[in-house]
Structure 1
Amino acid sequence: MRYLPIFVDTENKTILVVGGGAPAAAKIRTLIKTEATIKIVSPTVTADIKKYASENAKLSIEYRSIQNNDFDSVDFVYIATTDAEENKRLSKLAIDRGLMVNVADQKQDCSFISPAIVDRSPVVVAIGSEGAAPGLARTIKADIEARLPTSTGKIAFKIKELRSRLSRKFAAVPNRQRFWAEFFPRGQKLEAFLRKSPESIESLFEQKIAAQPEIMIGTVTLVGAGPGNLDLLTIGAQRKLHAADVIVYDRLVSQEILDMGRREARYIYVGKAPGDHTTRQEEINRILVEEALSGYDVVRLKGGDPLIFGRADEEIEALEMAAISYEIIPGITAAAAAAASIGASLTSRGHNRSIALLTGHDTKGFAEHDWASLARPESRAAIYMGLGAARFIQGRLMLHGAKEEYRVTVVENASRSDEKIVATTLGALVQDIEKYGIKGPAVVLLGFCPKQAGQADIKIRSARS
């Protein structure tokens, strides 16, 4: 995002518009809706600009050419003459004076650009494409225009009035935030809500506030973030992230997933790296309980699925002991994403009737498993956190009869743009992990190799090719 969308307070501000033709008129049509004083400098102006000036005391016209001192004592500048070179010169002059400048149809000379606007003041929606596709921005604007009733502004002013009454009932901010989150409907129901009269909104408010308890305790949702690809995040997870007051997240959660959360939410990082558990599980449990008891709706965001090697049972136990309600939103686990990347089914009819999901480490160090069963040719397993234990796993399997040529595939960052796939064998597993620079997070798939049909579509580094 190169252009930061912001709303600027125009009260007691002065805006200079240079130019008097159709491009300037288009800018002025929006500017007169603000509280700024507008100064227009141009030898000639269109009839509609004259009309705007006759109807708005805050708008003045000076019929002359622009002068350097016109840039004194103004806050923003819009340049819209018909001379592109003159526009460029004036833009540089204004920018050198530290002014914010917009030049009509000359994005390269702007220090800010104007978005398409849907005005239902005080509700204002701004849509921009950073100048890449203004037609698309206008189409999106038209769609939102049709969805937002003209009564939206009246409803917003009524809500402003009701907020002070809600503050008297709930002193705690999270309690008020939750009330409003539950008060406003979503989807198509919101459109119908905005068409109500301010009086009916107030009546609904009275009903809702009377039904609310004096003390509100928050909830905790354990949410699976999936393997990191935004396309694999569930709709349920997206909804919870949009509504959360606090997001407690792990190291393996990608930034694009975090960006789905509310901007106003608090983000608490509790990540753990192999061998570096900076935030102990007991501390994570304490954070979840403390935030919920303070009235906040909390999302505990975990990479993959929270119920698979995510220590969800410990967090659930802590929540139940504190009598805090919780919900679980499953996510796509890394083994499923890795299998999809290599075009393989985790189970195969007539071959393997089960798939083992294993961890390479436990509380005592390298994890012990039923190696004799895993060493059988027909066995299939996905090992999480297995890179550091690769030599141990290799030795245990071969000790119990697994052959060196036994097929193994390692998938690093499954489903992400930096995904790496290494198709190897049990005998070459350790050296190929080092050879191809696999650092993790990675899943070790025992008994699997990439399907030939899918190799043209995925990036594969094969130790056997």
Structure 2
Amino acid sequence: MRYLPIHIDTHNARILIVGGGEAAEAKLRTLLKTEAELLLISPNVGPEVARWIEDGKISHLARDFHEQDLEGVTLVYAATEDGSLNAEIAAKAASMNLPVNAADQKDACSFITPALVDRAPMVISIGSEGTSPGLSRAIKSDLETRLPSTLGRLALKTQELRAKVKELMPELSDRQRFWARVFDGKDLTAHLKLDEAGIEDRVDEALTRPDADKGGSVVLVGAGPGNPDLLTFAARQALHSADVVVYDRLVSQDVLDLARREAEYIYVGKEPGGKSTPQDEINQVLIDKARKGFFVVRLKSGDPLIFGRADEELDALEAAAIPTSIIPGITSAASAAAEIGASLTTRGKNKAISLLTGHDAKGFAEQDWKSLAAAHARAAVYMGVGASRFIQGRLLIHGAEHSRPVTVVENASRPNQKIVATTLGALPDDLEAAGIKGPAILLIGYAPRDAARQIFSKVKHA
């Protein structure tokens, strides 16, 4: 993120706009909604700008820009129809450490104005860092149709009610959980359409449930394969409300970014061959945070019920009498299969699929290799990159063909995804040649669909 979105207080501010044509008019349509004093400098102005000047909404100096015009202003908009002049004004403003926006001169801007959905005091900013204003406007248009015109009044009423809630709940964390429950997201559209009386009734109802916020709880949440678009709606709701997020190494930053900024984040990753957080320590973190009354999200990559050691955490939480629930996620095997266009089960070919781990507490994991080596058998192997030569050897010894297709998907669904289509006989060598380090899923018995092969990073044997 190159541009940090911030909202500047325009009360008692003075904003300078240089220019009186279409570029200036576009800027002024937003600036007129602020509380700032607007000073416009331009020898000539368009009819719409002239009307605003006549109505007393803008102060106007009908002359060319002078450098001394920059003194005493808060923001500068260089919005003439001359790009080189805009760049020159921007350079002078920058030399005085003034925030400046120059029309059609992105490199000269120290700030850019986003597309805005204005339901003052509720204002939603949408920016593309200058890369695609058209896309920003499209998103703005979509949100405009979703958000009621009464949203601003709802925000003002909520501000009034915050004082009442603060008096009853002096602790910030308690209030944050309270408001997360009021706007719980299960039917956010309906909440946003509440009138002043409706939101007051909802707050009063929530305040009459004194026990609702006292006890903490833990929810085990599947973070999916890493693509935030594949996160379930229930998982998003939990992240929006979490006081504490306890997360693993494979949880992507894109997923973590969906959680509340005010939440406490605790990393408990297990590094292959490196530093790992003991499971007993993780269990104790969950218990301790819940006993303090926090809503704890235990965020696990993929699905917490598939090689996620969920039972150990559930047993510990149950023994400590901590209320616990589970939100499943899309497991990496399903995501990987989707990326190569393969069905995990196919009528007439395989009636089942085995979900395996390449490692267990004792090292490489032993499996029913005879069954897995059968011609019809298919399997998805988690944590199998380091065990690939071991898996290859066991399957070949038990009769599997060297030509059996194997597709390996690293970082399934993520931007840095890599796909290797190979065979059992070439598996370890092709993984090494492709630089596959993991996390990766080994899909044994699966090949990518021919129609999609062109997008794959296929390693070819010499």
Q: When the two structures are superposed, what TM-score results if normalisation uses the length of structure 2?
A: 0.87
CA separation in 1, counterparts of 2:303 and 2:18?
58
Aligned to 2:193: 192
Give the corresponding residue for 2:36: 36
Task: Give the secondary structure class of the aligned counterpart of 1:16.
Answer: strand
Structure 2 equivalent of residue 297 of structure 1? 295
Structure 2: which amino acid aligns with 1:173?
L
Q: Which one of the candidate residues 427, 434, 437 is aligned to 1:436?
A: 434
Question: What is the identity, as a one-letter code, of the residue corresponding to 2:241?
Answer: A
In the alignment, is residue 128 of structure 1 matched against residue 127 of structure 2? Answer: yes
- Hey, what's the Cα distance between the residues in 1 that align with 2:7 and 2:65? 28
Q: Which segments of 5 or more consecutive residues in structure 2 lack a partner in the other structure?
A: none
Tell whether the 8 Å contact from 1:422 to 1:462 is kept in structure 2 after alignment.
no
Letter in 2 for 1:266: E
Q: Does 1:177 align with 2:176?
A: yes
Aligned to 1:15: 15
Q: Distance in 2 between matches of 1:215 and 1:191?
A: 23
The CA deviation string for residues 179-224 of structure 1, in whole angstroms up to 9 with x for no partner, is 212223634313421xx1x344334322321123275223322222
Secondary structure of the corresponding residue to residue 39 of structure 1: strand
Q: Distance in 2 between matches of 1:310 and 1:280?
A: 14
Q: Assess if the C-alpha contact under 8 Å between 2:223 and 2:235 holds in 1.
A: yes
Q: Deviations over 1:14-35 (max 9, x none)?
A: 3222234454344344334433
Pairs aligned (count): 460
Q: Percent identity?
A: 54
The 3 A distance-change label for structure 1 pair 283 and 428 is same
Displacement of 1:462 in angstroms is: 4.1
Conservation of the 8 A alpha-carbon contact between 1:174 and 1:294: no
| Aligned residue type for 2:356 | L
Deviation digits for residues 309-341 of structure 1 (CA, Å, limit 9, x no counterpart): 100111111222232222222222222233334
3-state SS in 1 of match to 2:111: coil
Q: Report what 2:336 is aligned to.
A: 338
**What displacement does 1:454 show?**
4.2
* Range that drifts further, 414-423 or 270-279: 414-423
Paired with 1:354 and 1:367, the residues of 2 have a C-alpha distance of 20
Paired amino acid for 1:154: R
* 1:385-435, Cα deviation, whole Å (9 max, x unpaired): 122223333333344444545544433223334333334444433333323
For the residues of structure 2 that align with 1:220 and 1:324, how far apart are their CA atoms?
A: 7
Give the CA deviation at 1:170: 2.3
User: What residue ranges of structure 1 are gaps of 5+ in the alignment?
Assistant: none
Output the aligned Cα RMSD.
3.0
1:451 and 1:49 map into 2 onto residues whose CA distance is: 60
Give the match for residue 162 of structure 2: 163
- CA distance in structure 1 between the partners assigned to 2:140 and 2:453 by the alignment: 42
Distance 1:205 1:381, change over 3 A: closer
Provide the secondary structure at the position in 1 that maps to 2:459.
Answer: strand
Among 310, 323, 326, the alignment partner of 2:324 is: 326
CA contact (8 A) 1:341 1:458 kept: no
What TM-score, normalized to structure 1? 0.87
- Please say if 1:77 is aligned against 2:76: yes
Whole-angstrom CA distance in 1 between matches of 2:425 and 2:434: 15
Encode CA deviations 1:239-282: one digit per residue, 9 max, x unaligned.
Answer: 33333333222222223333333344333222222122422212
Tell me the CA shift for residue 439 of structure 1: 1.2
Please say if residues 40 and 61 of structure 1, whose CA atoms lie closer than 8 Å, have aligned partners that are also in contact. Answer: yes
Q: Secondary structure at the match of 1:393?
A: helix
Contact 1:169/1:214, CA 8 A, preserved across alignment? no
Secondary structure at the counterpart of residue 443 of structure 1: strand
Check 1:408–1:115 CA distance in 2 against 1; reply closer, same or farther (3 A cut). Answer: closer
Q: CA deviation at 1:6?
A: 1.1
2:414 aligned residue: 416
Q: How has the CA–CA distance of structure 1 residues 438 and 106 changed in structure 2, closer, same or farther, with 3 Å as cutoff?
A: closer
Evaluate the alpha carbon distance shift between residue 163 and residue 373 of structure 1 in structure 2; reply closer, same or farther with a 3 A threshold. same
What residue in structure 1 maps to residue 257 of structure 2? 259
- Cα distance in structure 2, aligned partners of 1:391 and 1:27: 63
CA contact (8 A) 2:178 2:213 kept: no
Alpha-carbon offset, residue 307 of structure 1: 0.6
The structure 1 residue matched to 2:386, chosen from 382, 385, 388, is 388
CA–CA distance in structure 1, aligned partners of residues 43 and 445 of structure 2: 80
Mapped partners of 2:349, 2:35: distance in 1: 74
Q: For 1:455, what is the secondary structure of its paired residue? A: helix
Change (3 A) 1:97 1:284: same
Instruction: Tell me whether 286-295 or 88-97 shows the greater mean CA deviation.
Output: 286-295
2:296 and 2:458 map into 1 onto residues whose CA distance is: 39
- The structure-2 alpha-carbon separation of the partners of 1:23 and 1:353, relative to structure 1 and needing over 3 Å to count, comes to closer
What letter corresponds to residue 258 of structure 1 in structure 2? L
Q: Distance in 2 between matches of 1:174 and 1:218?
A: 12
Relative to structure 1, the CA distance from residue 227 to residue 45 in structure 2 (aligned partners, 3 Å threshold; closer, same or farther) is: closer
Deviates more, 1:47-56 or 1:168-177: 47-56
**1:384–1:442 CA contact under 8 A, matched in 2:** yes
351, 375, 378: which one pairs with 1:377? 375
Check whether the contact 2:422–2:459 (CA below 8 A) recurs between aligned residues: no
| Residue aligning to 1:247 | 245
Task: Give the distance between the partners of 1:136 and 1:348, measured in 2 at CA.
Answer: 40
Q: 1:459 corresponds to which residue?
A: 457
Cα distance between partner residues in 1 of 2:146 and 2:372: 58
Range 159-168 or range 446-455, more displaced = 446-455
| Amino acid aligned to 1:117 | L
Structure 1 residues 189 and 379, CA, compared in 2 at 3 Å: closer, same or farther?
same
Q: Deviations over 1:33-60 (max 9, x none)?
A: 4333333334455676576567669x64
Task: Measure, in 1, the Cα distance between the counterparts of 2:270 and 2:278.
Answer: 8
**1:238 touches 1:260 (CA, 8 Å); kept in 2?**
yes
**Residue 83 of structure 2 contacts residue 103 of structure 2 at CA under 8 Å; is this kept in 1?**
no
Report the secondary structure of 1:7's partner residue: coil
Structure 1 range deviating more: 413-422 or 354-363: 413-422
Summarize deviations over 1:265-301 as a string: whole Å, max 9, x none. 3332222221224222122222222333333333222
Distance, in Å, in 1 between the alignment partners of 2:189 and 2:278 is 44
Shift in alpha-carbon separation, 1:350–1:38, aligned structure 2, 3 A: closer
The structure-2 alpha-carbon separation of the partners of 1:287 and 1:61, relative to structure 1 and needing over 3 Å to count, comes to same
Amino acid paired to 1:189: A
